[in-house]
Structure 1
Amino acid sequence: MDPRVALVVEQLWQPVPGGSGRYIVELSRELASTGVAAMGIVAHHGASEPSARDLGLGIPVVASRLPRRALYAAWDRLALPSVDRLCRGVRVVHATTWAIPPTRRPLVVTVHDTAFLRDPGHFTSHGAAYFTRALERTKARADLVIVPSQATAEDCLGAGIPESRIRVIPHGVRHTEVTEGEVASFATTHGLTRPYVLWVGTHEPRKNLPSLLRAHRILLDRGGDLDLALAGPSGWGDDSEEKALISALPSDRVHVVGHLSDRELACAYAGACVFCFPSVWEGFGLPVLEAMDQGVPVVTSRGTSMAEVVGSAGLLIDPVSPDQIAEAIEAAAGPDHMRLAFAGRTQASGFTWERSARAHADVYRELA
């Protein structure tokens, strides 16, 4: 049976959609090939806001009468309004993030991570409280829970979600081919005249950027010739330490390139000598997979979901040890470079959005 499924896709209108936004776009793009008829649920948006197509969404959408803040609050506090009238003929409802709609239909919830339970201080108090309530709703109402990694599955088990209701479905990666000319143009635009270590992410506490900045200081003190490029949008939290560490580095050796388009990001990956992602915790760590797909040796955190993603194709470090990070970057840029580049491409080839969508379709059919 090929069910009709309604996905909550409002995340795409957030100021920083992040990896969850990428997940929604890629999943909705691939579901048609699985036989699943998908539609999106969104909040009310004015004419001045981007359309679903502008944001990369190719499925039809239905809109609530409430704007996002009011809709999320009503779902969170009142368990209203139900989305069933919006989604006539739908067999399954899928909450793709912590925005969980009231419904009498079978409900799937994607839990990207439970990092707010590990260290609430890495989140705003409002965010941690909202996520905690959403987790309780998931435990009470979700028929099945999708997680992107075994690490997140273990966290869900620890939070009280039965193993029988958890399905591990890794994310995928879509390769973007860029030319040498495009990569060279990107480097010129951002003043990247030397080989560089790349970091990609939203600036927030759990990304652990200060440890990488300290490692970069160690490498420069050793006479290293690698620059550091930091890509990604502004986030939240006290970034005074991060700014102080950047200011203490030579201005021509650290490059804050900011938010990049998908194509610019592909150029940033393709031109990098090493990709370093010392986050203390992620539900999956999509930038690690994107870097490997472009043939960039990866340094990332052991004991995390990123270690699952890289397998033996990357170098694993204690994320709070700048010395370990520096040593691994030196190895990835030097004697281990070609081995890691080849191994990373091979490892990344096993993660596709097509495979991920087929596994999602199996979950929908299981409930429908």
Structure 2
Amino acid sequence: MDDRQTTVGGGVLTLVTEQALARIPGGTGRYTREVGQALGARIPFGWRVRGVTAWHRDIASARIPGVAGPRRLLLDPRVLARLWERGLGPRLGGTVVHALTPLAPARLRHRQALVMTVHDAVPYTHPETLTPRGAAWHRLMIERGARLASALVVPTAAVAADLESVGIRARIEVIGEGTARALNGPISATEIERMRTAFRLPGRYVLAVGTLEPRKGLDVLLDALTAGDAAAVHLAVVGQPGWGGADLATAAEKRGIADRVHVLGRIPDAELAAVLAGAEVSVVPSRSEGFGLPLLEAMSRGIPVVHTDAPALLEVAGGAGLVVPVGNAAALGAAITSVLADPDLAARLSEAGRVRAAAYSWDAVADRLWDLYQDVAAAPA
């Protein structure tokens, strides 16, 4: 059977799963794995799902249950990105190709449909928080995707509105995200204490999760911990370094708070689950987000959340978090300490967060996506 031959009502779904192998996979890497696994568990009759990546020696991170492969293209990741950027490079097989990031093929086969996920509008709304080349590359790929794809998938209505405001004209489907399965299981007090000991964390700490780069607002969070009651708060930060030279340890030292800032780096999900479960508050100080997975994942475990008023965070939290203005260190510090000092407030936020998080699931995402694939397969652009 070739890629275009299908049973009645079926077809072949090809997922571009390259982001699972990226040097800095971040939230889009988690999205790639979680979406792939959910799709692979809910395949409609007559369909097959397979992954494709650039050439890597080790592709273990891109092996997803229920998804065949991945098939490795005979191109280095940078070469593949440059070719697709220039409108060249390989076409992919399949009835529907879903590029899970803007890294998407520049050409399609006859009667083939393309779906592209655009995770945020940061290249347009906050280009200064990316490298100049990164912002330009993403704008180019998003705009090409808008012309070529049958549909763009975005995680929030906030992203859809931003794209429309900068002139992106395409079918845009708002399909949210979910909480990682690996972070949802029961965590024993013994495991929480083991992680505290392993990472030398105190009995009480607040947590921030995200790639260490400018748009995450971690500089504002450090400033928030230098004054008032927040000057006694301990912060644990989980995430790998991104661009921009965000050396959190050095930044903390310059502010005189190095003894209270615990930089854990990128850690496995099993460890993250225990570190998250042991936190008193989860802080999301981002300048901009497309969705905000750490916010939802904290809420799903009942951890009170303090977050900025970035539109996507407001949308996802749905009033279940404590909100502060973007960039306002004093307000951020006050909000953190108010939750730490008020058990009733913490309990209300915890319960509201659990209820809110229950409205999101990767299975629901997969169902929406399968409906979309079957629709565009019937009449590809």
For normalisation by structure 1, the TM-score amounts to 0.92
Spell out, residue by residue over 1:65-121, the C-alpha distance to the aligned partner (whole angstroms, 9 max, x if none): 1121111111111332212xxx2xx21111110111121311111110110111222
Please state how far the C-alpha of 1:254 moved relative to its aligned partner: 1.5
1:276-355 equivalent positions in 2, closer than 5 A: 276-335=283-342, 336-355=345-364
1:31 pairs with 2:31: no
8 Å CA contact 1:52–1:58 kept in 2: the answer is no
2:276 to 252, 263, 269: 269
Unaligned runs of 5+ in 2: 1-8
What residue in structure 2 maps to residue 103 of structure 1?
108
1:124-163 equivalent positions in 2, closer than 5 A: 124-162=131-169
1:10 pairs with 2:18: yes
1:44 pairs with 2:55: yes
2:196 to 187, 195, 206: 187
Distance 1:275 1:267 in 2: 13
Q: Secondary structure at the match of 2:221?
A: helix
Q: Post-superposition, which runs of at least 4 consecutive aligned residues in structure 1 deviate over 6 A?
A: none
1:170 pairs with 2:179: no
Q: Kindly provide the amino acid, as one letter, of the partner of residue 129 in structure 1.
A: A
Q: Kindly provide the amino acid, as one letter, of the partner of residue 200 in structure 2.
A: G
What residue in structure 2 maps to residue 201 of structure 1?
210
Please state how far the C-alpha of 1:158 moved relative to its aligned partner: 1.5
1:228 pairs with 2:235: yes
What residue in structure 2 maps to residue 71 of structure 1?
80
For normalisation by structure 2, the TM-score amounts to 0.89
1:216 pairs with 2:225: yes
Distance 1:309 1:300 in 2: 11
CA-atom RMSD in angstroms: 1.8
Q: Kindly provide the amino acid, as one letter, of the partner of residue 132 in structure 1.
A: R
Please state how far the C-alpha of 1:155 moved relative to its aligned partner: 1.2
8 Å CA contact 1:3–1:364 kept in 2: the answer is no
Distance 1:229 1:246 in 2: 15
1:120 to 127, 136, 139: 127
Q: Secondary structure at the match of 1:182?
A: helix
Please state how far the C-alpha of 1:333 moved relative to its aligned partner: 2.0
Spell out, residue by residue over 1:241-262, the C-alpha distance to the aligned partner (whole angstroms, 9 max, x if none): 8733444334332111111110
Q: Cα gap change, 1:242/1:113 in structure 2, threshold over 3 Å: closer, same or farther?
A: farther
Q: Secondary structure at the match of 2:35?
A: helix
Please state how far the C-alpha of 1:223 moved relative to its aligned partner: 7.0
Q: Secondary structure at the match of 1:222?
A: helix
Unaligned runs of 5+ in 1: none
Per mean C-alpha deviation after superposition, the further-off stretch among 353-362 and 333-342 is 333-342
Per mean C-alpha deviation after superposition, the further-off stretch among 8-17 and 173-182 is 173-182
Please state how far the C-alpha of 1:303 moved relative to its aligned partner: 3.7
1:253 pairs with 2:264: no
Q: Cα gap change, 1:204/1:57 in structure 2, threshold over 3 Å: closer, same or farther?
A: farther
